[in-house]
Amino acid sequence: MKKITVNLKEKSYPVVIHDGLRNDLPHHINKYKPGNFGFVITSPKIYDLYKGIIKKSFNQKKFKVIIAANGERAKSKECFFRVIDNILSSKQINNNPFILCLGGGTIGDLGGFIASVYKRGINYIQVPTTLIGQIDSSIGGKTAIDTPQAKNIIGTFYQPKAVLIDPSFLNTLPKKEVREGLAEALKYGIIKDKELFCLLKNNPQKILSLDKKLLNTIIYRCVKIKADIVAKDEKEAKGIRTILNFGHTFAHGLEAASKYKKISHGKAVALGMLYASYLSQQLGRISPALTGQISQALQSLGLPVKIKFEPKKVLNALRHDKKFRAGKIRMVLIDNIGKVSVSTNISQKDLSKTLKKIQAFD
């Protein structure tokens, strides 16, 4: 068992990484005294896969299991109100309630958001079941739901009481979803941890077949990086948390240009990191060999390095980004593997010139 603390004074909380933790969930939850009655928010898919564990762990005297929706639909306002109504209709509603989020990043974002707004805030615990959930979304207290206009547009900063990670949940996760998480893991390596980057680059087969030891090391190192960054800049007010957006400015441009349908977030982040790498190279910060290493790492993990897109649409989306000011864009660029910095004055010329490097043609 490993434990990392997210240090936020009176809001500090532990992130526990423990294989098999899911077989003894009530015991682990009770340690943090979140409340008397737990509303377990989960997805239909997790309920189907883990019915046995869920029924055994959450008896009706102390818990109510609420099934939200699969994927991003869990973050719709319809689902949000359905879950809230479900909570309100419970007889246990005044019995010092808390929320337990059991699922991927979407369930964590929804459950965390509900915990933050219900009676202006009740306790919640995260039990993430995807790689993205375990290394990224469950840590840091960003919660949100979507509207048809935009993703994550209604949200709060609200820290959980604890994050309980059982890597063995990943055994049932589709490979495609594992890759989504590996793109974010590679991000942590590039921004802060060269050893992690090399571990990912040199062991793709073992990692993709979910080698326990490697996976636990990867999760631990990613959690540590995120926890440290969040502790220094909880609300993204000091510019420190900004480096977690590495690869994401371009990724969001690509996602917006494809209306969030054609490209997954992980693939967009993979391309966004490579784009940032080419841009860093063009601005004389890094060598072509280093971009080559990043490209190689992405490919070995089954992530894309080229994509078809309309440059105009992506540039337009970048221009609408809140990081775009007075004709210049702000982006996280690479100085070396394990070291990045924020650049505030990238010109449109450099932006469009670099687009060609990752553009695929027929």
Ligand X SMILES: NC(=O)c1ccc[n+]([C@@H]2O[C@H](COP(=O)([O-])OP(=O)(O)OC[C@H]3O[C@@H](n4cnc5c(N)ncnc54)[C@H](O)[C@@H]3O)[C@@H](O)[C@H]2O)c1
Confirm if 250 and 239 have CB atoms less than 8 A apart: no
State in angstroms the smallest separation of the CB of 3 from ligand X: 20
Q: Which amino acid is at 249?
A: T
Residue whose CB is less far from ligand X, 20 or 71:
71
Between CA 141 and CA 158 the distance in angstroms is: 5
Residue whose CB is less far from ligand X, 151 or 328:
151
Single out the segment in contact with ligand X by CB under 6 A; choices: 102-110, 115-123, 159-167, 186-194.
Answer: 102-110
Size of residue set near ligand X by CB under 6 A: 28
Residue whose CB is less far from ligand X, 163 or 257:
163
Between CA 283 and CA 278 the distance in angstroms is: 9
Residue from 38, 140, 167, 304 touching ligand X (CB under 6 A): that is: 140
State in angstroms the smallest separation of the CB of 205 from ligand X: 21
111 binds ligand X (CB under 6 A): no
Which tokens go with 270? 């993979």
Which tokens go with 95? 């019995």
State in angstroms the smallest separation of the CB of 102 from ligand X: 9
Residue from 34, 105, 160, 189 touching ligand X (CB under 6 A): that is: 105
Residue from 42, 57, 126, 130 touching ligand X (CB under 6 A): that is: 130
Residue from 166, 177, 193, 234 touching ligand X (CB under 6 A): that is: 177
State in angstroms the smallest separation of the CB of 106 from ligand X: 4
215 binds ligand X (CB under 6 A): no
Site string for ligand X, 57-76 (x = CB under 6 A): -------------xxx--x-
173 binds ligand X (CB under 6 A): yes
136 binds ligand X (CB under 6 A): yes
State in angstroms the smallest separation of the CB of 228 from ligand X: 15
Between CA 101 and CA 108 the distance in angstroms is: 5
Between CA 281 and CA 306 the distance in angstroms is: 17
104 binds ligand X (CB under 6 A): yes
Q: Could you tell me whether strands 13-17 and 162-165 are parallel, antiparallel, or unpaired per DSSP bridges?
A: parallel
133 binds ligand X (CB under 6 A): yes
Using CA of residue 284, residue 294, residue 361, residue 314, what is the dihedral sign?
negative
Q: Which residues contact 325 (CB under 8 A, 6 or more apart)?
A: none
The interface with ligand X within residues 225-284 (CB under 6 A) comprises none
Specify the DSSP element, H or E, that contains 255: helix 248-257
Tokens 């337990």, residue located: 100
137 binds ligand X (CB under 6 A): yes
Q: Could you tell me whether strands 13-17 and 324-325 are parallel, antiparallel, or unpaired per DSSP bridges?
A: unpaired
Q: Which of 161, 129, 133, 109 is nearest to 54 (CA)?
A: 129
Single out the segment in contact with ligand X by CB under 6 A; choices: 101-109, 115-123, 275-283, 332-340.
Answer: 101-109
Between CA 241 and CA 340 the distance in angstroms is: 12
Residue whose CB is less far from ligand X, 104 or 355:
104
Residues taking part in catalysis: 120, 142, 184, 226, 236, 241, 245, 248, 252, 265
Q: Which amino acid is at 106?
A: T
How many angstroms separate the Cα of 239 from the Cα of each of 222, 320, 331, 344? 19, 20, 12, 12
CB atoms within 10 A of CB 245: 20
Give the residues lining the site for ligand X (CB under 6 A): 43, 45-46, 49, 70-72, 75, 103-107, 109, 129-130, 132-133, 136-137, 140, 142, 152, 169, 172-173, 177, 180
